[in-house]
Amino acid sequence: MNEHVLLGDEAVALGAVHAGLTAAYGYPGTPSTEIVEFLIRHAERHGRPLASWTTNEKTAYEAALGVSLAGRRTLVAMKHVGLNVAADPFINSALLDLGGGLVVVVADDPGMHSSQNGQDTRFYADFARTLCLEPANAQEAYDMTREAFDLSERFHVPAVIRLVTRLAHSRGVVRTGEARGQNPPRPAADRAAWTLLPSYARELWRGLLERQHELRAYTSRHGNTLSLADSRLGVVTCGIARNYYEENADDLPFLPSHLHIGAYPMPVDLLRRLVAHVDAVLVLEDGYPFVQRALGGVLTPPREVRGRQTGALPPDGELTPDVVRVALGLPLRAGLPPAALALPTRPPQLCAGCPHIDTFNTILKATRDLGARVTSDIGCYTLGALPPYSAVDSCVCMGASIGMAKGLADAGVRPALAVIGDSTFLHSGITPLVDAIAANTPMTVVIADNEVVAMTGGQPSAIPSSRMKRLLLGLGADPDHLHILDTHPKTVERNAEILRREIDHPGLSVIVTVRECIETARDRKRMRLAMAGATA
Ligand code: SF4
């Protein structure tokens, strides 16, 4: 047995390697990025597993399904909103007779530190009628990931690991076990079990429903612990919330009864036993009131249930030890009031020298006095919404800028512009652009191509800038209204003239502004100098 100090994300990745992982896929997204990064580094050093970034979460999931079809173990990682993109194959895959274990790691961001919403992946796992494991610390992240592969193969369903930001990005000591070898290739023999034709799918769906009893029987015995103590209060903790409860429990005047939930489907029998024993229940869960809502179906009235839905905990944001302390009725610990710790705030802004600054200056110059509406997308360039640029009107989800600009143009708004990064364009912008090309919509698409996924640390885009033009022509973009432009302070004036001309064009134009992210360019330069120093 070895000991390592690992991030929660890294513990998941190492657990997967030790479980005999053959291949992993993902699209970068905070707070899940470090999982695939760890696996890529591991593959560089040890030659396995295969680990790669994909164009988006849906393609990642589909590749993982192929590995499972081959009978081998696979992992797919994403942030919570990424599961919306992969929802189609994810939900459908629960019906398949999965061969090699398929583990879906989803890192939720309940505090919305770097996300457009705070959705809770436990609902998705429930919707798909599959297993979900929720670790409370890095050790459990390692252990549960290993176990998730076994469970996926035992129950033939995708097994979800739900992380939250605080766990994904905290370090802890992890004791590791013996590494297991990879599954030998063993492609599925039963084609009907992998083909969701309605006649097969109806049968597979019945099979999944029948397996619910086995899944519930499993989670009533594993991953969840019930300790019946004082009957005045029953505390339910989920995942990381256990740590916040344990930090405060010693200060309580009595020892409440406690159910910890780390595995779903919901352990309804354990909830019933807790509820039957206590007068009131407090549910501590990060994310949505998932367990609190389910309690409505198992309560013997009149029982009081406190949690996010009743105001005992704030309805949004992350849990913290202090929030939990207040919910337990304890006085806050003496210390500096939060106001005394307030640091000077700095509004988020593009890095000095960022190529997007020149792109936004180009757009502002070209659209001055035109009353243009500009839709934007997910990436560093979303900061163009803030002063001093205040250059965009919307940002909803990956790829939405192009579809929304098309909607604006269809609704008669002129000029309508979309701004999207190269990686986001490849992720989800291609399909709405196909619509706009097909309709020759009178709008202008600006692809701000910085050659990387900069926001998550500079992972490579799915294809390099040098191939963007061929891709756009292949999609059917009009070569007379397609421009690949260097973006730089010196080219702002010239580029704005081109953009202005294209805004006047009564059809679709595509402008690609190209310059590498200054941060990744600096990193590459540092790396080159270090390599040169090492070989001098
Ligand atoms: S990381 Fe790169 S793309 Fe993002 S703001 Fe900084 S320079 Fe611009």
Digit-coded pLDDT (tens) for 468-513: 999 999 999 999 999 999 999 999 999 999 999 999 999 999 999 9
Residue 290's CB: how many other CB atoms inside 10 A? 23
What distance in angstroms lies between residue 182's CA and the mean position of ligand 1's atoms?
39
Distance (Å, rounded) from C-alpha 438 to C-alpha 447? 18
Angle at 114 between CA 524 and CA 139, to 5 degrees: 85
CA-nearest residue for atom 6, ligand 1, is 351
Residue corresponding to tokens 């009009």: 478
Q: Which residues line ligand 1 (CB under 6 A)?
A: 350-351, 354, 356, 380, 450, 454, 517-519
Minimum-distance ligand 1 atom for the alpha carbon of 517? 2
Nearby residues of 78 by Cβ (< 8 Å), 6 or more positions away: 26, 27, 29, 32, 57, 60, 85, 86, 104, 105, 106, 107
Give 280's pLDDT tier (boundaries 50, 70, 90): very high
pLDDT in tens, 75-107: 999 999 999 999 999 999 999 999 999 999 999
Between the CA of 480 and the centroid of ligand 1 the distance, in Å, is 30
DSSP string, 426-483: IIIIHHHHHHHHHHT-S-EEEEEE-SEEGGGT-EEPSS-GGGHHHHHHHHT--GGGEE
What's the gap in Å between 431 CA and the centre of ligand 1? 26
Whether omega for the bond prior to residue 28 falls within 30 degrees of 0, making it cis, is no
Residue nearest to atom 5 of ligand 1 (CA): 350
Instruction: For the chain, give the mean pLDDT.
Output: 95
- The burial of 61, by beta-carbon neighbours within 10 Å (0-12 exposed, 13-18 middle, 19 or more buried), is given as buried
* Ligand 1 centroid distance, CA of 362 (Å): 17
Question: Which of 405, 333, 388, 19 has its CA nearest to residue 176?
Answer: 19
The token pair at 360 is 């936004």
**Given ligand 1 and candidates 346, 351, 358, which is best to mutate, with the most ligand atoms within 8 Å of its CB?**
351
Backbone angles phi, psi at 397, to 5 degrees: -160, 170
Ligand 1 atom nearest the C-alpha of 355 is 8
The pLDDT tens digits for 14-65 are: 999 999 999 999 999 999 999 999 999 999 999 999 999 999 999 999 999 9
Ligand 1 closest atom vs CA 357: 8
Q: Which residue has its alpha carbon closest to ligand 1 atom 2?
A: 517
What are residue 90's DSSP bridge partners?
none
Q: Using CA atoms, how far apart are residues 78 and 86, in angstroms rounded to an integer?
A: 9
Place of tokens 């583990």: 103
Residue 513 belongs to what H/E stretch? strand 509-514
- The angle subtended at Cα 312 by Cα 307 and Cα 313, nearest 5°, is 75
Single-letter code of the amino acid located at 203: E
Q: Are 516 and 451 in contact (CB under 8 A)?
A: yes
Claim: this prediction has a pTM higher than 0.75: yes
pLDDT digits (tens, 9 = 90+) for 398-432: 999 999 999 999 999 999 999 999 999 999 999 99
Ligand 1 atom at minimal distance to the Cα of residue 379: 4
pLDDT in tens, 309-353: 999 999 999 999 999 999 999 998 877 565 556 677 777 889 999
pLDDT tens-digit map of 208-240: 999 999 999 999 999 999 999 999 999 999 999
| Nearest-CA residue for atom 7 of ligand 1 | 354
354 C-alpha to center of ligand 1: Å? 5
277 token code pair: 């024993």
Tell me which residue has its CA closest to atom 8 in ligand 1: 354
DSSP for 15-67? HHHHTTEEEEEE---TTTHHHHHHHHHHHHHHS-SEEEE-SSHHHHHHHHHHH
Strand order in the sheet with 102-108: 50-53, 21-26, 73-79, 102-108, 159-164, 131-133, 263-264
Predicted confidence band of residue 531 (pLDDT cuts 50, 70, 90): confident
- Interatomic CA distance for residues 262 and 174, integer angstroms: 18
Tokens standing for residue 220: 């009533």
Question: What was the pLDDT predicted at 301?
Answer: 63
At residue 528, the pLDDT reads: 85
Q: Residues near 468 by Cβ (< 8 Å), separated by ≥ 6?
A: 422, 447, 449, 484, 512, 514
C-alpha pair distances (Å), 161 with each of 35, 74, 244: 12, 13, 20
- Cα of 455 vs centre of ligand 1, distance in Å, is 7
The alpha carbon of 489 and the centre of ligand 1 are apart by a number of angstroms equal to 15
Which one-letter amino acid corresponds to residue 70? A
Cα(245)–Cα(242) distance, integer angstroms: 5
Span between the terminal Cα atoms of the chain, in Å: 40
Structure tokens, 183: 């599954």
Task: Please give the C-alpha separations between residue 293 and each of 277, 296, 306, 307, 335, in angstroms, as whole numbers.
Answer: 19, 6, 11, 10, 35
C-alpha span between 158 and 298 (Å, rounded)? 27
Protein residue with least CA distance to atom 1, ligand 1? 454
Nearest to 263, CA basis, from 228, 238, 235: 238
Ligand 1 mean position, distance from CA 515 (Å): 11
Instruction: Determine the pLDDT at residue 302.
Output: 62
Question: Ligand 1 centre from 226 Cα, in Å?
Answer: 48
Q: Where are the beta strands (DSSP E) in 134-289?
A: 159-164, 171-176, 224-227, 230-238, 256-261, 263-264, 280-284
Condensed to tens digits (0 to 9), the pLDDT of residues 147-204 reads: 999 999 999 999 999 999 999 999 999 999 999 999 999 999 899 999 999 999 999 9
Q: Is residue 28 within 8 Å of 57, Cβ to Cβ?
A: no
DSSP type of residue 536: -
**Is residue 106 within 8 Å of residue 64, measured between CB atoms?**
no
Asked if pLDDT for residue 536 goes beyond 90, the answer is: no
